[in-house]
Amino acid sequence: MTSSLLSVKELTVQVATPTGPKVVVERLSFDLLPGRTLCLAGESGSGKSMTALSLMQLLPKPMARIAGGSATLDGENILALPEARMRRIRGRKMGMIFQEPMTSLNPVMTVGNQLIGAITAHGNTSGRRAARARAVELLDQVQIPEPERRLGQYPHELSGGLRQRIVIAMALAQNPRILIADEPTTALDVTVQAQILALIRKLQADHGISVIMITHDMGVVAEMADEVLVMKNGRTVEHAISRELFAHPQDAYTKELLSAVPRLGEMAGTEAPKRAVGKAVETRSAPGAEQPMLQVENLTVRFDIKGGILQRPVKRLHAVEGISFSVRRGETLSLVGESGCGKSTTGKALLNLVPWAGEIRVDGRSTRGLRGSTMRPILRDVQMVFQDPYASLDPRMRVGDLVAEPLLIHGLASGGELRDRVEYLFKRVGLSPEQMKRYPHEFSGGQRQRICIARALSLSPKLIVADESVAALDVSIQAQVLDLLQDIQDETGVSYLFISHDMAVVEQISHRVAVMYMGRFVEMGTRRQIFENPQHPYTKKLMAAVPVADPGRSRRDFVPKAEDLPSPVRALDYAPSFSPPSDLGGGHLVWDG
């Protein structure tokens, strides 16, 4: 047994609320061993991020404060150090990386200056040139191609994955012995996530760093952890060696958390979508073969990028390039792909929210050229549920009014009838009608998404476009919302166009799946065809990148100098070439490339 590097004892953190102080971390204790990885796992509100910020003494003051406990590093209690001395711990002994690579870097400073700032945070003895050389060395360590050139770039010129690598480089600039990583890959695409996780493992092995990894994703836990500490509402629920925890979870909450995690490939051999919580599925007849609910042919969305004195188009962004698909009644088609692949743009085009070319027919009616009042009858049949349940509800309207609004706009109900209908919708999505008078901020994320679903359902649409609708939710809530969506489909026969980046979620809910890359489809087929027999290399890559909640699985190899996605911005005269897909039988289409 090696002696611990950092020893946390009875850490308690309080947050001030209008109703008095609230304990968000309660008597948390753990020991971090040299060179090992400890994962703090839990859902939102479990206090895992607060723990990380306390250790760095970076809690948002004066709102949050450390109410008790100690954290001993090199014989010092770092929780009690005054700011001036704590500053010397930060960066030197403990580095930290954060969740949002998009906002974690200063937008008005070059990458180089920020890195050099991190290198020289505690004084520069060896001169600017040495600092610059060190910056290049760091960028090379985090596997960023062309490190020299990157130094002069600004954060907005780089992708999320590259930015996160730079944040990691900044955290490692002064060779700390502990790296605290607060959800470092949550905001990234799966393939990038896989690269970053592998990178952290490599850096850890090369430099013998100890890592405290904070995550909500049990898949990431399985990939990274030596030890796991499961937290719920600020309390330690279970603390065990990673393999032990996954093999024999002791606590009921840990079991619940593990069972809620969708596992890729768990549905092999089944046709219909499945309930997450193992509820009996009533076998419904296969989606009807009559006229498709939605037919999209050759959909193309391009955005002009303007410039010059006269603001004429100079370049063009090819967001969606000639995709065709149809969704039958009662069917769920998933569009899956990474950020920037055009999946959300496709969803917006269906509701005429972006200009498009091609042909879109909803229930046989073409939507070409419709706008305003002529589009309204179509919108009765097509509704949308968005990703962020916090931003998609007007904070100044009562939730009952929000759900009633579409009915009023379409003049479908009023007075008592309207109230009855809204009440019914609230019950339908699992909320009580008494909650109708409240405002959005009084609800949790999952409840808000239920409200969004109720609003979408209010017009009894025939097709719901769900754009990353469960991406912002905790896994247990996510499972409930997915169940709700499927219940509604069974009951009403509504079709879903389910837009998601999450392969595991897609596997659960879909009848059919289309994989998108750079504005095109690369593969389309039934769920079984895609998940059990993926053909396109990109589909395979996507699936291989999903973290699997099984620590026994061999950890993925580190990929040196991975490049980003190519740019979808092209010259004006660029005409994409099309190759027809090859049909592998049973509607399984694969495109070249």
Partner 1 sequence: MAAYIARRLLQTVVILLGISFVTFVLLYLIPADPARQIAGRSATAQTVENIRHQLGLNLPFYEQYLRYVAGLVQGDFGRSYLQKTEVATLIASRLPASLLLMAGAITCELIFGLTMGVVAALRRGSRTDDTLMIASFVGVSAPQFVIGILLLYVFAVKLGWFPIGGYGTFAHLVLPSVTLGFLGAGWYSRMMRSSLIEVMRQDFIRTARATGAGRAKVLFRHAMPNAILPVIAMIGIDIGLFMSGIVVVESVFGWPGIGQLAWQAIQRVDIPIIMGVTLVSAFAIVLGNLLADLITPLIDPRIKLR
Which stretches of the chain bind partner 1, using CB under 8 A? Answer: 56, 58, 60, 87-92, 95-96, 98, 100, 103-109, 114, 117-118, 121-122, 154, 156, 167, 170-171, 173-174, 306-309, 311
C-beta of 95 vs 161, nearer to partner 1: 95
C-beta of 25 vs 116, nearer to partner 1: 116
What interhelical angle do 160-172 and 127-141 show, nearest 10? Answer: 130
C-beta of 111 vs 399, nearer to partner 1: 111
C-beta of 144 vs 503, nearer to partner 1: 144
Residues, the chain, total? 593
Q: Confirm if 322 and 298 have CB atoms less than 8 A apart.
A: yes
C-beta of 313 vs 560, nearer to partner 1: 313
Determine if residue 45 is left, alpha or beta; phi over 0 gives left, psi from -120 to 50 gives alpha, anything else beta: left
C-beta of 99 vs 295, nearer to partner 1: 99
Q: At closest approach, how far in Å is the CB of 181 from partner 1?
A: 11
DSSP string, 304-359: EEEETTTTEEEEEEEEEEEEEEEE-TT-EEEEE--TTSSHHHHHHHHTT-S--EEE
Tell me the C-alpha distance between 453 and 467, whole Å: 12
Tell me the C-alpha distance between 124 and 130, whole Å: 9
488-to-171, 195, 496 alpha-carbon distances in Å:
47, 38, 10
Task: For 41-58, give one letter per residue: b (16+ CB within 10 A) or e.
Answer: bbbebbbbbbbbbbbbbe
C-beta of 156 vs 368, nearer to partner 1: 156
Tell me the C-alpha distance between 94 and 178, whole Å: 5
C-beta of 57 vs 489, nearer to partner 1: 57
Both tokens assigned to 121: 């945070």
Q: At closest approach, how far in Å is the CB of 111 from partner 1?
A: 11
- Dihedrals phi, psi of 421, to nearest 5 degrees: -65, -45
C-beta of 63 vs 241, nearer to partner 1: 63
Q: Look up tokens 């019914």; give the residue.
A: 424
Q: At closest approach, how far in Å is the CB of 182 from partner 1?
A: 10
Q: At closest approach, how far in Å is the CB of 173 from partner 1?
A: 7
20 SS3 class: strand
C-beta of 124 vs 126, nearer to partner 1: 124
Q: At closest approach, how far in Å is the CB of 32 from partner 1?
A: 17
Q: At closest approach, how far in Å is the CB of 91 from partner 1?
A: 3
Q: Confirm if 35 and 51 have CB atoms less than 8 A apart.
A: no
Q: At closest approach, how far in Å is the CB of 44 from partner 1?
A: 17
Q: At closest approach, how far in Å is the CB of 154 from partner 1?
A: 4
344: Cβ contacts below 8 Å, ≥ 6 apart: 467, 468, 499
The dihedral over CA atoms of 379, 385, 391, 397, expressed in degrees to the nearest 10, equals 60
Q: At closest approach, how far in Å is the CB of 159 from partner 1?
A: 15
DSSP single-letter state for residue 245: H
Q: At closest approach, how far in Å is the CB of 85 from partner 1?
A: 11
Q: At closest approach, how far in Å is the CB of 172 from partner 1?
A: 10
| Continuous H helices in 71-189 | 83-89, 111-119, 127-141, 147-150, 160-172
Q: At closest approach, how far in Å is the CB of 505 from partner 1?
A: 27
DSSP string, 125-142: SSHHHHHHHHHHHHHHHT
The sign of the torsion formed by the CA atoms of 499, 503, 505, 506 equals positive
Tell me the C-alpha distance between 282 and 180, whole Å: 46
C-beta of 117 vs 433, nearer to partner 1: 117
Q: At closest approach, how far in Å is the CB of 47 from partner 1?
A: 18
Burial of residue 78 (number of CB atoms within 10 Å: 0-12, 13-18, 19+) = buried
C-beta of 88 vs 128, nearer to partner 1: 88
C-beta of 167 vs 522, nearer to partner 1: 167
Q: Look up tokens 């939730």; give the residue.
A: 399
